[in-house]
Structure 1
Amino acid sequence: MNVKGVLGATAMLIAGASVSCVSQAATYAYVSNADSQDISVFSLDKSNGSLAPVETVAVGATVMPMTFSPNHLRLYAGLRSKPYRVVSFAVNPLDGRLLELSTAPLADSMAYISTDASGHYLFSASYGGNLLAVNRIGANGVVGDVQQTVKTGPMAHAIRNAPDNRFVFASVLGADAWLRLKFDASNGQLTEDATPAYSLPPKSGPRHFVFSPDHRFAYLIDELDGKLHVLAFDSTRDTVKPVETVSILPPNFSGDKPWGADLHLTPDGRFLFASERTSSTLAAYKVNAASGKLKRIGTYQTEKQPRGFNIDPSGKYLLAVGQLSTSLSVYNIDRKTGELSAIGQYPVGKGANWVEIVEFDGITNE
């Protein structure tokens, strides 16, 4: 694609539209670097897992959580230095480059951001502010002002919509609680249940969570006790029941205390991976499709203090970064066994903490 074509595509993206052109499938990875205050952008070759640098985008603040709009044409980045705000970027599917569109205020320093299924609302969770918040997103995919805040117990850490978009769930680390909030998609309002959806043992510290692709299970990682919880999810009532709890710690763990961070499932739901920061390891599990239970595959050393990682949409590659490392590691995921094998390492900025990956299969008008 020539420069004129790219500029035309970018203009249409600013308006919130798709672009009309022929493009091969392309995969891009985005890494937020808190200390160097920028975002590293790579293209991913799905044939071999190699990365090629595309650009480094300066944001001028402590950039940490990121999320895509449902149509993947917008990337939202949360800034955790004052003034707290979120940056809306247009994503060019022709080359992966980012174009800053605007900034909007956040209610506090947000540890996690996500959107509802429609892409009309941005959810956020504040660890220091002990709250959840909702920002409206315009028809052009640009985040607007805060429209609601919900106070929680201490250290709210993550927030995501249920698969049916009727409820939102949030982990509150200091309260050892996983909350359920009714979500009205017509106006973006959250209403918290009187009791948590799931209460954890004291000092568990629930952190991140994911739903299985078939919506039958939820997986919740703790920060403080080195545990990972499997919950059966009733998609009719949006309720959960405990199935099992497993350890994310390596067999020879010798640190002062566990420090769980992130978890992700492969897109087919067959394998689950979790990061532990004290040992700088990734734990790999095989998922039993019928019961949701986990069988440990192995433990793998990775970048130092792995706060964030992610899996590409094909399920073939895992990309991991560490807050005390300036490198990103790429692993091949064995499609039969789920075992990881390191295949490459690439420079990123300082304080790397979050990875988002997007794939564009082709570009057409909508």
Structure 2
Amino acid sequence: MSQKRGFGRRLFGLSLLGTGLSGLTDAAFGENGKAPPPAPIPKAALPKMTPEAAARKSGLRVLCYVGGYTRSGPDDANAKGITLFEMNQETGILTQVGQPTNADNPSFLAFSPDHKTLYCVNEVSDFGGEKTGAVSAFNVDQHTGVLKFLNAVPSGGADPAHLSVHPSGRYVFAANYTGGSAAVIRLQPDGSLGERTDLVQNTGPRMPERAKDNPPGNYAVSDHSGSHMHMIQADAAGRFIVGADAGLDRVYVWKFDLESGKLSPAKSPFMAMEPGSAPRHFCFSPDGKVIYILGEQNSRVVVADYDQETGEMSVRQTAMTVTAKFRGSTLAAEIGLHPNGKFLYVTNRLGDSIACFRVKDDGSIELFDQAWEHANYGRSFAFDPSGQFLFVANQRSDSITSWRVNGETGVLDFTWNFTPVGTPTAFAFMAVSGD
């Protein structure tokens, strides 16, 4: 719902007339005929500063980097590289800043913890003339946001689809989709990419193309010809690394040695998912004790308790990302929690909707709404730093659409802002000095 603006000072002052002030007698004043000092206003009664107002007061600017397919994508490839936008903190409108930074198929982006370096996967299979993709590093100007290329290294497998940075800022992890492997790359003090310290190849039995618990009428299939790592990320403590394999229908867990950069199987090395479900992406609850795993092919969220001491997962709930009335083809794409942890959102491609879930006190979820994306094939989404806006990258519509998020109800209010950009696939937001 749209947020209503409060009355201005002038209207507030005028509203005091007719409230009975003119009928006050001298008894209401002190012995000297002067009014007593006003009682202090309770803190709870003071208007709260909105995140937008706080950002303006701080003098910060909000920048948004958008990656996309420049070639070799599953559809037309219209991106020009990594495009930089500045966000209007009142309206959410994105305005392009300068020309795109050259990058080859930068389909996923991630910042270093200090936001001084931006990393991207190069989702290709011919980097350096070899059958591998790559990871690239860029220095980020902390005032202008301009990117400066540092270096690129092989990812160790074809078509990397996701990457993340360890909380320590010392390593980057890459998920090689076609290569079916997880790579660990050490970072240099200047943020550039160093040696690859590990490469784990997943193997397992061939899984069915479709899950038995598919939405009715779903003709879309996910590739189960072999291992297809789709996401890799450390847990909250950074002790374990979790990887979603959409080809083997498994969520892997590895122990991580911070000094050597090596991965080793956890006590329970993987959790088997519904055959054919294609676990794609996941996210953790703010306290790291619950993991939400998104099945691309069956459009379901698996809610599991996560043991931070062992990395073990135990399923608690499974929830559909489409309503019970939905019929037709759909492929779930992205999953994420609102910064306040109260709401979970999922993009549904083909069905072109955003599933909105309430998160209960015990971590379980309840679908309460589905918002139309107003575009085609919403691949990923992201919140701005304040959590006031949600942005969706619509891969086949060559556009970004956005919603204002009600932090109390989780309801999405479409902004009617359309940002043109070629085959967008990923976002990375940061705040910089306004000087």
TM-score by length of 2: 0.74
**Paired residue for 1:336?**
408
Shift of 1:60: 4.8
Paired with 1:97 and 1:246, the residues of 2 have a C-alpha distance of 41
Shift of 1:47: 2.9
Paired with 1:30 and 1:200, the residues of 2 have a C-alpha distance of 33
Q: Map 1:1-366; keep pairs closer than 5 Å.
A: 24-34=59-69, 35=77, 36-81=79-124, 82-83=126-127, 84-108=133-157, 109-153=159-203, 154-193=227-266, 195-256=268-329, 258-288=330-360, 290-302=361-373, 303-360=375-432
Paired with 1:238 and 1:59, the residues of 2 have a C-alpha distance of 39
Larger Rg over CA atoms: 2
Can you list the C-alpha shifts for 1:159-201, whole angstroms capped at 9, x where unaligned? Answer: 0001111110101112111111000111211112374442211
> AA paired with 1:341?
D
Shift of 1:45: 2.6
Can you list the C-alpha shifts for 1:284-339, whole angstroms capped at 9, x where unaligned? Answer: 11111x21111212111113111111112221110101110111111100111101
| Maintained 8 Å contact 2:177/2:228 | yes
| Maintained 8 Å contact 2:400/2:421 | no
Paired with 1:39 and 1:28, the residues of 2 have a C-alpha distance of 12
**RMSD of aligned alpha carbons:** 2.0
User: What are structure 1's unaligned runs of at least 5 residues?
Assistant: 1-22
TM-score by length of 1: 0.88
| Maintained 8 Å contact 1:91/1:98 | yes
| Maintained 8 Å contact 1:27/1:44 | yes
Paired with 1:344 and 1:100, the residues of 2 have a C-alpha distance of 34
Paired with 2:413 and 2:142, the residues of 1 have a C-alpha distance of 29
- Residue range with higher mean Cα deviation, 246-255 or 354-363: 354-363
> AA paired with 1:210?
C
> AA paired with 1:30?
Y
- Residue range with higher mean Cα deviation, 90-99 or 183-192: 90-99
Shift of 1:55: 2.8
Q: Secondary structure at the match of 2:99?
A: strand
> AA paired with 1:56?
Q
> AA paired with 2:199?
T
Shift of 1:237: 3.0
